[in-house]
Amino acid sequence: MVYHHPVADVAPRDLHNDLRRGVRDLCRGFPDPYWRELDARRAYPDAFVRALTEAGYLAALIPEQYGGSGLGVTEASIILEEINRSGGNAAACHAQMYTMGTLLRHGSDMQKRTFLPKIASGELRLQAFGVTEPTTGSDTTQVKTTATRSEDVFIVRGQKVWISRAEHSDLLLLLVRTTPADRVAKRTDGLSILLVDLRQAVGRGLTIRPIRTMMNHATTELFFDDLEVPADALIGEEGKGFRYLLDGLNAERILIAAECIGDGRWFIERSTAYANQRVVFNRPIGRNQGVQFPIARAHVNVEAADLMRFHAAALFDRGAPCGAEANMAKLLAADASWEAANVAVQTHGGFGFAEDYDIERKFRETRLYQVAPISTNLILAYVAEHVLGMPRSY
Ligand SMILES: Cc1cc2nc3c(=O)[nH]c(=O)nc-3n(C[C@H](O)[C@H](O)[C@H](O)COP(=O)(O)OP(=O)(O)OC[C@H]3O[C@@H](n4cnc5c(N)ncnc54)[C@H](O)[C@@H]3O)c2cc1C
């Protein structure tokens, strides 16, 4: 079946508003109790992700010729923002957006024809992205998972950690070292990206072990024990994977920034509503400047971060360099949502800690973005070195 998303027919100027309205309508079917109940069980939001896929939103970045909507990162970011703004958590499915660029820009025609229509229709899920390792952490070029070519397969050995949604994805974009680090001129050389079919891999050299975290995130550890991956799973050229990864990382930062903006707006709306209706000392608490100013300041910071997010997204969609802007958007938005989360707990007093108010759930969820997918320190190090020209500090 050729899948066609209705948003592609809408005039560009109306597209963003239509997208916002459409995602909000869909999210209304998944209100706070839905997410609260899943959070308590640490369960994956299957029904929500299915609904989002069926409505075509997760195929936003896939070109129309492959059954998607052919939209940009700007539009994808609006979709994810609205999910978080509605009280949900786009982390359940955002990887399909940020991994897409690697396949679109660097995959072969054959790979695109094989996978993209099925990803667009929902038959295949591309929700897992395997970079981080237990012993290398933020130092991505030092990954130790190896893929050794043997005739028409790669043999993969090693371990990954914090690989989210691996149990809820059919495909995994995996960063591996194909040439040993001591045999490459630059430390960014010799890395490659494989598109691993998890349905073939699990139990045949790949073991997935879930990690329970303080929020509902479906993250896992992966153990590769001589897993055989067909040679045609290689994306682009062998040894150039780090370069391909960088494209995806900028998209990821912009998309995560948008989720943080969504979180920030949700916290501010809830805080404002609560401050206006909660009466203590015979007046709404929101009449006190000590209550309203922190909410107002958090709002100012979310709105400022949003400008950098759209600026970065526009550069990305034009194909212009956007490393600095994507990083700055991620830092500003993550800080703004964390500030708004803290303010929301304070505004709600004791009720900020009650599960039934959802503030504490979203507070736990948005805290992640100070650390992942890139920590605040590493962004500051990037800005200091690459934007301001100071010496590399690590
Ligand atoms: C819930 C969750 C989901 C995740 N999902 C995925 C996923 O799907 N795929 C994936 O590949 N990864 C994923 N990650 C991993 C995430 O990207 C990493 O946790 C993150 O990049 C930080 O790496 P690390 O945890 O190894 O910390 P480390 O690199 O060990 O850093 C620890 C601390 O030290 C600081 N630090 C390190 N080096 C420096 C330095 N030179 N200067 C200043 N400070 C420094 C860091 O800022 C950080 O605060 C996820 C993580 C979490 C927690």
How far does the centroid of ligand 1 lie from the alpha carbon of residue 137, in Å?
6
Task: Give the distance, in angstroms, between the CA of residue 89 and the centroid of all CA atoms in the same chain.
Answer: 10
Q: pLDDT value at position 99?
A: 86
pTM > 0.85: yes or no: yes
Work out which ligand 1 atom sits closest to the CA atom of 139. Answer: 29
| DSSP per-residue string spanning 325-393 | HHHHHHHHHHHHHHHHHHHHHHHHGGGGG-GGGSHHHHHHHHHGGGTSSS-HHHHHHHIIIIIT-PPP-
123 is catalytic: no
The per-residue pLDDT for 98 is 82
**pLDDT at position 13, please?**
65
The verdict on the CB of residue 248 being under 6 Å from ligand 1 is no
Q: How far is the CA of 131 from the centre of ligand 1 (A)?
A: 10
Q: Strands 126-130 and 146-150: what pairing?
A: unpaired
Q: Whole-angstrom Cα distance, residue 271 to residue 266? A: 8
Cβ(311)–Cβ(329) below 8 Å:
yes
Buried residues in 127-143 as b, exposed as e (16+ CB within 10 A): bbbbbbbeeeeeebbeb
Query: Any residues with CB less than 8 A from the CB of 23 and at least 6 apart, and which?
Result: 57, 78, 79, 82, 83, 86
Q: Quick one: which H or E segment has residue 228? A: strand 219-230
CB burial string 228-259: b at 16+ within 10 A, e below: ebeeebbbbebbbbbebbebbbbbbbbbbbbb
Binding site membership of 96 for ligand 1 (Cβ less than 6 Å): no
Task: Tell me if 129 sits within 8 A of 166, measured CB to CB.
Answer: no
Residue 39: which of 270, 369, 364, 264 has the closest Cα?
A: 364
Q: Tell me the pLDDT tens digit for each residue of 111-129.
A: 999 999 999 999 999 999 9
Atom 33 (ligand 1) nearest CA: 375
d(CA 148, CA 167): 25
CA dihedral 369, 375, 380, 383 (to 10 degrees): -90
For residues 114 and 278, what is the distance between their CA atoms, to the nearest angstrom? Answer: 56
The DSSP secondary structure of 280-324, one letter per residue, reads ETTEEGGGSHHHHHHHHHHHHHHHHHHHHHHHHHHHHHHT---HH
Alpha helices in the chain (DSSP H): 12-28, 32-41, 46-54, 73-85, 95-98, 100-106, 109-121, 198-201, 241-277, 289-318, 323-348, 359-367, 376-382
Q: Whose CA is closest to 99, among 218, 7, 196, 30?
A: 196
Angle in degrees, 0-180, between the axes of helices 12-28 and 73-85, rounded to the nearest 10: 30
The residue whose CA is least distant from atom 30 of ligand 1 is 137
For 161-188, write each residue's pLDDT tens digit: 999 999 999 999 999 999 999 999 999 9
The pLDDT, as a whole number, for residue 144 is 96
CB 145 near ligand 1, within 6 Å: no
- How far apart CA 61 and CA 73 sit, in angstroms, is 7
Q: In order along the chain (394 residues), what is the average pLDDT of each group of 10 residues? A: 43 84 98 98 98 97 96 97 98 90 94 96 96 95 96 98 98 97 94 98 98 98 98 97 90 97 98 98 98 98 98 96 97 98 98 98 98 97 98 94
Residue 49: CB within 6 Å of ligand 1? no
Backbone φ and ψ for 297, nearest 5 degrees, come out as -65, -40
Given phi > 0 = left and psi -120 to 50 = alpha, else beta, which region is 191? beta
β-pairing, 153-164 vs 219-230, is antiparallel
Annotated catalytic residue, options 82, 252, 259, 339? 252
CA angle 69, 73, 76 (to 5 degrees): 60
219 three-state secondary structure? strand
pLDDT reported for residue 10: 55
Instruction: Name the residue of 371, 380, 383, 385 whose CB sits within 8 Å of the most ligand 1 atoms, as the mutation to test its pocket.
Output: 371
